[in-house]
């Protein structure tokens, strides 16, 4: 995509003094539920009221949304509260219905964004629309696939575009419902700094207790806004109960978040420094995670050596690793002294883990 500065127009035109906030229930359940939540949010910093009308579910028989009926409820939200509305669309028919019912913002979910064919159908259905269209990252950590979907919409003359980072699926055990893989979001911003990027901490965490921390990290990384699922009775929500917060809690989160403002040269410096430090924090978390995985493999090696009665220390293998890592480190601008110190420490920790398995 070229000339992406025009993609920020819709966000800049809002002239917000705080990050963009999209909030509302995961699913529209009843008219009363939708309107009650909307009225509780109308005097807050929420810019768009969200509600899932069509819910893509993994297995048949699960609640898949109220469908077109819910669009009437969103109309009433706009009439009664003045808030703009938004919902997820998953095919061309959804797009037509949403536009016909004057929904202001459409987002395309992770399951839909993963399919180039469906993305093209949606792009054709929305060709030339002035509606805001946001694309969530695909469920798998593939930056090219994410960008490809956005490019299909851009090629369809849809200028009010943006993206939503909602984390990525993983088979590995994690404290997150969908691991954030912040480095992918950082690369996204580096490549397209003028494309508005929203964070969805609800789907990243799957846990309302973690939403504040993930939201703060997103703001520290210069995200443009947040999408947070909100319900007046989260524990009894029809879908994704654990990740929804009450309107009161949402307002508290927005008050407690540290929002950086660009007001002068010193503030610009602090903003840049905080952004870089946030990137370091992300990299450090990844380092610890990778080291933990490495030690798990070392323990498996220890179990194999125990079974075959093989010595822990393998000097030839160690020297090969060290030589390769010194060369690799030099190619990355790391000194030989640093690489030696680091890998000696890693090697010793690996030996400790293997010995624990063998002698345990």
For the segment 74-115, what is each residue's pLDDT rounded down to a tens digit?
999 999 999 999 999 999 999 999 999 999 999 999 999 999
Q: Give the total number of structural domains in the chain.
A: 2
Q: Is residue 351 part of a domain?
A: yes
SS3 for 135?
strand
Listed ranges 55-64, 211-220, 330-339; the one with the highest mean pLDDT: 211-220
- Residue 242 pLDDT more than 70? yes
58 pLDDT above the threshold of 80? no
Question: From start to end of the chain, where are the E strands?
Answer: 20-24, 48-50, 84-89, 105-108, 132-136, 161-165, 197-199, 225-229
237 and 315 co-located in one domain: no
In a domain, 190, yes or no: yes
Say yes or no: 312 and 235 in one domain.
no
3-state secondary structure 247-266: HHHHHHHHHHCCCCCCCCHH
Distance CA 321, CA 311 (A): 18
**Alpha helices, H only, 91-207:** 92-100, 110-113, 116-125, 143-155, 182-191, 201-205
Per-residue b or e along 76-86, where b marks 16 or more CB atoms closer than 10 Å to that residue's CB:
ebbeebebbbb
Whether the predicted pLDDT of 324 surpasses 70: yes
What does the CA dihedral 123, 126, 130, 136 come to, rounded to 10 degrees? -50
Q: Are both 230 and 297 inside the same structural domain?
A: no
User: DSSP assignment, residue 27?
Assistant: B
Instruction: Read off the CATH number of the domain in which 338 is found.
Output: 1.20.59.10
Indicate whether 2 pLDDT > 80: no
Same domain, residue pair 244 and 344 = no
Contacts of 82 (CB under 8 A, 6+ apart): 42
Residues spanned by the domain of 16: 4-259
Judged against a pLDDT cut of 70, whether residue 263 lies above it is answered with no
Within a domain: 21 = yes
The C-alpha atoms of residue 305 and residue 302 are separated, in whole angstroms, by 5
Identify whether residues 338 and 233 lie together within a single domain.
no
Instruction: Point out the domain boundary residue: 235, 259, 283.
Output: 259
CATH number for 93: 3.20.20.70
Residue 270 falls inside a structural domain: no
73 and 208, same domain (yes or no) = yes
pLDDT at 261 (0 to 100): 58
Domain termination site, one of 259, 279, 311: 259
pLDDT of residue 316: 87
Asked, for residue 268, whether it belongs to a domain, the answer is no
Looking at the fold, whether 218 and 75 belong to one and the same domain comes out as yes
Q: Is residue 269 part of a domain?
A: no
Domain assignment present for 353: yes
Per cent of the chain over pLDDT 70 is 97
Whether 282 maps to a domain, the answer reads: no
Residue 200 pLDDT > 70: yes
Same domain, 237 and 324: no
Do residues 174 and 25 both lie within one domain? Answer: yes
The last residue of a domain, from among 259, 276, 308: 259
Query: Do 324 and 197 lie in a common domain?
Result: no
72 and 208 belong to one structural domain: yes
* 307 in the same domain as 250: no
């Amino acid at each position: 995509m070229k000339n992406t500065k025009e993609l920020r127009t819709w966000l800049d035109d809002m002239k917000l003094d705080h990050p963009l906030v999209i909030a509302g229930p995961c699913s529209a359940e009843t008219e009363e539920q939708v309107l009650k939540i909307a009225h509780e949010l109308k005097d807050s910093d929420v810019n768009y009221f969200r509600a899932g009308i069509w819910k893509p579910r993994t297995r048949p028989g699960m609640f898949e949304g109220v469908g077109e009926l819910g669009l009437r409820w969103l109309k009433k939200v706009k009439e009664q509260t003045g808030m703009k509305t938004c919902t997820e669309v998953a095919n061309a028919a959804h797009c037509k219905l949403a536009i016909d019912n004057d929904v202001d913002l459409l987002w395309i979910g992770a399951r839909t964004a993963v399919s180039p064919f469906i993305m093209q159908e949606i792009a054709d259905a929305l060709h030339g629309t002035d509606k805001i269209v946001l694309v969530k990252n695909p469920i798998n950590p593939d930056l090219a696939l994410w960008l490809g979907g956005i490019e299909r919409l851009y090629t369809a003359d849809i200028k009010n575009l943006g993206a939503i980072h909602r984390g990525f699926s993983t088979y590995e055990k994690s404290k997150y419902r969908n691991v954030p893989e912040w480095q992918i979001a950082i690369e996204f911003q580096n490549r397209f700094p003028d494309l508005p990027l929203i964070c969805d901490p609800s789907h990243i965490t799957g846990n309302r207790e973690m939403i504040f921390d993930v939201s703060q990290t997103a703001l520290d990384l210069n995200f443009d806004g947040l999408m947070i699922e909100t319900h007046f009775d989260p524990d009894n929500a029809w879908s994704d109960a654990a990740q929804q917060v009450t309107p009161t809690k949402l307002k508290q989160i927005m008050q407690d978040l540290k929002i950086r403002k660009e007001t002068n040269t010193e503030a610009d410096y602090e903003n840049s420094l905080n952004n870089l430090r946030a990137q370091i924090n992300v990299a450090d978390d990844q380092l610890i995670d990778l080291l933990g995985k490495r030690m798990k493999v070392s323990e498996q090696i220890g179990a194999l050596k125990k079974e075959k009665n093989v010595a822990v220390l393998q000097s030839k293998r160690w020297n090969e690793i060290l030589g390769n890592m010194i060369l690799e480190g030099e190619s990355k601008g790391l000194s030989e002294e640093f690489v030696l110190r680091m890998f000696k420490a890693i090697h010793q920790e690996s030996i400790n883990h293997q010995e624990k398995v063998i002698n345990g």
